[in-house]
Amino acid sequence: MAFSTGNLETKLNALNETQAAIQSVSLWIMHHRRHASESVDTWFEKLCAVDASKKLAYMFVANDVLQNARKHGTEFTEAFRPVLIDAFAHVAGECEPPVVKSLNRVLTVWQDRSLYPADFVAQLKSALNSSSSESSSATASTSAAASQVEKRIPQPVDPDALALQLRQIQDAVVSDTLIQQRVTVLPVSSLKQRVATEVKDHQSGTYFQDQVSQGQRATLQLMERLEAQTKQRKRVIEMLQDALALQNQAVAKLAETAKECQEKMDTLNAAETELNSIMKSLPSIGYDTSSYSRLPSTSELFSRGGSGASSSRSHMPYATGGYASGYQQPSSSSASAPAWRTAPAVQPPTSSSEAPVDPRKRTATAAGFEQMGRQ
Following DSSP, what letter does each residue of 90-146 receive, concatenated? HHHHHS-HHHHHHHHHHHHHHHHTTSS-HHHHHHHHHHHHHHHHHHHHHHHHHHHHH
What are the two backbone dihedrals, phi and then psi, of residue 220, each rounded to the nearest 5 degrees? -65, -45
* 240 and 260 both lie in a single domain: yes
Q: CA-to-CA distance for 191 and 211, rounded, in angstroms? A: 9
Residue 221 lies in a domain: yes
Whether residue 171 has pLDDT greater than 60: yes
* 210 and 174 both lie in a single domain: yes
Residue 62 lies in a domain: yes
Q: How many domains does the chain have?
A: 2
* 98 and 182 both lie in a single domain: no
Query: In the listed set 240, 269, 298, which residue is the last one of a domain according to the structure?
Result: 269
* 99 and 195 both lie in a single domain: no
Amino acid at 311: S
Q: Could you list the residue range(s) of the whole structural domain that residue 236 is in?
A: 154-269
* 147 and 201 both lie in a single domain: no
- DSSP-derived letter for residue 353 is T
Residue 332 lies in a domain: no
Contact 222, 179 (CB under 8 A): yes
Tell me, what's the pLDDT at 333? 46
Closest residue by Cα to residue 81 from 18, 118, 124, 142:
124
Q: CA-to-CA distance for 25 and 8, rounded, in angstroms? A: 8
Q: How confident is the model at residue 166 (pLDDT cuts 50, 70, 90)?
A: confident
Whether residue 131 has pLDDT greater than 70: no
Number of Cβ within a 10 Å radius of residue 242: 18
* 87 and 158 both lie in a single domain: no
Q: What is the pTM of this model?
A: 0.40
Q: CA-to-CA distance for 104 and 279, rounded, in angstroms? A: 83
Residue 24 lies in a domain: yes
* 137 and 233 both lie in a single domain: no
Number of Cβ within a 10 Å radius of residue 67: 16
Please write the tens of the pLDDT for every residue from 312-360: 444 444 444 444 444 455 554 444 555 555 555 555 555 444 555 555 5
Q: CA-to-CA distance for 307 and 311, rounded, in angstroms? A: 6
* 237 and 94 both lie in a single domain: no
Please write the tens of the pLDDT for every residue from 115-127: 999 999 999 998 8
* 80 and 207 both lie in a single domain: no
CB-neighbour burial class of residue 340 (10 A; exposed 0-12, middle 13-18, buried 19+): middle
Closest residue by Cα to residue 47 from 100, 83, 3:
83
* 58 and 100 both lie in a single domain: yes
Amino acid at 179: I
CATH of the domain at 127: 1.25.40.90
Measured CA distances, 5 to 39, 50, 90, 269, 363 (Å): 7, 16, 22, 78, 146
Query: In the listed set 151, 168, 203, which residue is the last one of a domain according to the structure?
Result: 151
Whether residue 142 has pLDDT greater than 60: no
* 122 and 75 both lie in a single domain: yes
Residue 374 lies in a domain: no
